[in-house]
């Protein structure tokens, strides 16, 4: 019997990268590979990279240093770097790391098994970073599920971005916008539902732009409505959106479609109009705030999150204060915040000076995060004492004898309960808000009455 080949995969970066890693693993499983958690046991090591910030790049470089000795010890071990950083650096990565065998960008994912075979048979190094034409972009539909029993899954509907915000590398690493045909998306969602998937997260760099460049496809909110209507699908989420392509139909869907979760990640980046202009964002502060008001009117319990960059080129103290005041005004449930670092090839790298001193960036980032931590804590504490619907995903990571799931607003809840509940939508009492999750008790069928005595037993 032929021995199975083992692949070790390490993922850096966003949900899109996680999905790509899952797809690569599915393709390799179909080609006779099994996944291993240990690089020492692997025949193929793949590092799926991100280049949106500087930190994942640093992590990759230090990991490459650690893998060098393994590569020298193990004849036949194949080492590959994939993803956005591979796309960005391309041949320069092969020159920097003479022991690297494969450099592959996101568009080459469907070719991965063949590229590995090329490396193994010819013992030569392979570079695959060509970007594909958006008209015929081949979306891979290898189903990737997560959670015990595959309760939740990601579905790609769109890739790339045409917006060219001045700080952002995505249009260069992920290429131009391409929308996946709606028929193909819906077929994948039906197949997922048939396998027991109850929650789908729709992914794209910019889902609000779905179909805008392909008149044959419906607008994003119509596609989302059709996904929510697939029998068996209990919940739908999506990410990521830009504010300027958000159409009123999507706001309306929050008012009318209960299967659409009460969570919206709406990147703003900064609070001052002057800064938004330098970032080449296509929205003003006021336009953004109007969207927030519309969304909250359509779905009063909606949780909002955003991305914030501090210390972008030329940021004044006044502009920084405008970002803080925006955070206080919107009261996001959660934010992703970063100190600006120059990304190669971007408009900012070419024409703006990265002139905010490192210690100022650090202080401003701390102020942003400190303010948001207070708001987040207040928002989470507001769930204490309430009973909330939770889709049970599997055993808790904190304690595998407990269960874990998410509320509609995307917070994780850990609670004691029977594994028979996995995959079900139940109601859970929220006992306490921790820093990044909620502690729950007493799962019950949605709408059922819970006896106060039983509740006390669980708490004691």
Per the CB < 8 A criterion, the answer to whether 193 and 151 are in contact is: no
* Of the residues 4, 69, 117, 164, which one makes contact with ligand SF4 according to CB under 6 A: 164
* CA 304 from centre of chain: 15
Work out whether 132 is an interface residue with ligand SF4 (CB under 6 A). Answer: no
Per the CB < 8 A criterion, the answer to whether 232 and 198 are in contact is: yes
DSSP strand pairing (152-156 vs 145-146)? antiparallel
* Of the residues 165, 193, 276, 390, which one makes contact with ligand SF4 according to CB under 6 A: 165
Work out whether 175 is an interface residue with ligand SF4 (CB under 6 A). Answer: no
* Of the residues 48, 242, 262, 396, which one makes contact with ligand SF4 according to CB under 6 A: 242
User: Would you give the binding string for ligand SF4 spanning residues 188-227, x where CB under 6 A is met?
Assistant: -----------------xx---------------------
DSSP letter for 383, please. T
The least distance separating ligand SF4 from the CB of residue 221, rounded to whole angstroms, comes to: 18
Per the CB < 8 A criterion, the answer to whether 287 and 301 are in contact is: no
Work out whether 268 is an interface residue with ligand SF4 (CB under 6 A). Answer: no
Q: What are phi and psi of 236, to 5 degrees?
A: -130, 135
Residue nearer to ligand SF4 on the CB measure, 178 or 228: 178
Work out whether 284 is an interface residue with ligand SF4 (CB under 6 A). Answer: no
Reading phi first (left if > 0) and then psi (alpha if -120 to 50, else beta), residue 410 is in left
* Helices 182-194, 220-228: crossing angle, 10 deg rounding: 20
Structure-token pair, residue 97: 């790391």
DSSP letter for 384, please. T
The least distance separating ligand SF4 from the CB of residue 408, rounded to whole angstroms, comes to: 25
Number of residues that bind ligand SF4 (CB under 6 A): 10
* Of the residues 120, 141, 163, 424, which one makes contact with ligand SF4 according to CB under 6 A: 163
Work out whether 429 is an interface residue with ligand SF4 (CB under 6 A). Answer: no
Nearest one of 244, 87, 101 to 175, comparing CA atoms: 87
Neighbouring-strand partners of residue 76 = none
Among the listed ranges 53-61, 156-164, 226-234, 416-424, the one in contact with ligand SF4 (CB under 6 A) is 156-164
- 């990279």: which residue's tokens? 49
Work out whether 161 is an interface residue with ligand SF4 (CB under 6 A). Answer: yes
Neighbouring-strand partners of residue 156 = 203
* Of the residues 147, 171, 271, 405, which one makes contact with ligand SF4 according to CB under 6 A: 171
Work out whether 239 is an interface residue with ligand SF4 (CB under 6 A). Answer: no
Among the listed ranges 74-82, 111-119, 162-170, 397-405, the one in contact with ligand SF4 (CB under 6 A) is 162-170
Residues found near ligand SF4 in the complex (CB under 6 A): 161, 163-165, 168, 170-171, 205-206, 242
């Amino acid at each position: 019997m032929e021995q199975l080949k083992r692949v070790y995969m390490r993922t850096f970066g966003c949900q899109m990268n996680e999905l790509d890693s899952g797809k690569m693993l599915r393709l390799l499983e179909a080609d006779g590979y099994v996944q291993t958690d240990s690089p020492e046991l692997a025949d193929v090591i793949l590092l799926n990279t991100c280049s949106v910030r500087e930190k994942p790049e640093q992590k990759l470089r230090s990991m490459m240093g650690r893998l060098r000795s393994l590569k020298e010890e193990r004849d036949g071990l194949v080492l590959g770097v994939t993803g956005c950083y591979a796309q960005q650096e391309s041949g320069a990565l092969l020159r920097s790391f003479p022991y690297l065998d494969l450099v592959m960008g996101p568009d080459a994912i469907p070719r991965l098994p063949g590229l590995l075979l090329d490396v193994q048979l010819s013992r030569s190094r392979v570079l695959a970073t060509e970007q594909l034409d958006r008209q015929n972009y081949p979306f891979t539909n290898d189903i990737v599920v997560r959670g015990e029993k595959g309760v939740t899954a990601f579905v790609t509907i769109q890739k790339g971005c045409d917006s060219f915000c001045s700080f952002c590398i995505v249009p260069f690493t992920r290429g131009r916008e391409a929308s996946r045909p709606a028929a193909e998306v819906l077929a994948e969602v039906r197949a997922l539902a048939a396998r027991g998937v109850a929650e789908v997260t729709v992914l794209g760099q910019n889902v609000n732009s779905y179909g805008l460049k392909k008149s044959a496809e419906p607008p994003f909110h119509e596609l989302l409505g059709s996904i929510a209507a697939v029998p068996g699908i209990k919940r739908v989420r999506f990410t990521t959106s830009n504010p300027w392509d958000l159409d009123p139909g999507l706001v309306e869907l929050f008012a009318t479609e209960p299967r659409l979760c009460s969570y919206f990640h709406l990147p703003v980046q900064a609070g001052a109009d002057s800064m938004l202009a330098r970032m080449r964002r296509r929205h003003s502060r006021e336009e953004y705030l109007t969207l927030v008001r519309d969304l909250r009117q359509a779905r009063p319990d909606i949780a909002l999150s955003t991305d914030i960059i501090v210390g972008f080129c030329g940021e004044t103290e006044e502009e920084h204060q405008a970002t803080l005041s925006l955070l206080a005004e919107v009261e996001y449930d959660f934010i992703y915040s970063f100190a600006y670092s120059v990304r190669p090839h971007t408009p900012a790298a070419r024409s703006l000076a990265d002139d905010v001193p490192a210690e100022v960036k650090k202080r401003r980032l701390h102020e942003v995060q400190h303010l948001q931590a207070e708001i987040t804590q207040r928002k989470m504490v507001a769930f204490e004492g309430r009973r909330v619907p939770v889709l049970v995903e599997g055993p808790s990571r904190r304690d595998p004898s407990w269960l874990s799931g998410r509320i509609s607003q995307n917070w994780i809840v850990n609670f004691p309960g029977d594994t028979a509940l996995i995959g079900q939508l139940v109601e859970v009492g929220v006992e306490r808000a921790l820093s990044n999750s909620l502690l729950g008790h007493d799962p019950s069928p949605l709408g059922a009455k819970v006896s106060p005595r039983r509740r006390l037993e669980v708490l004691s």
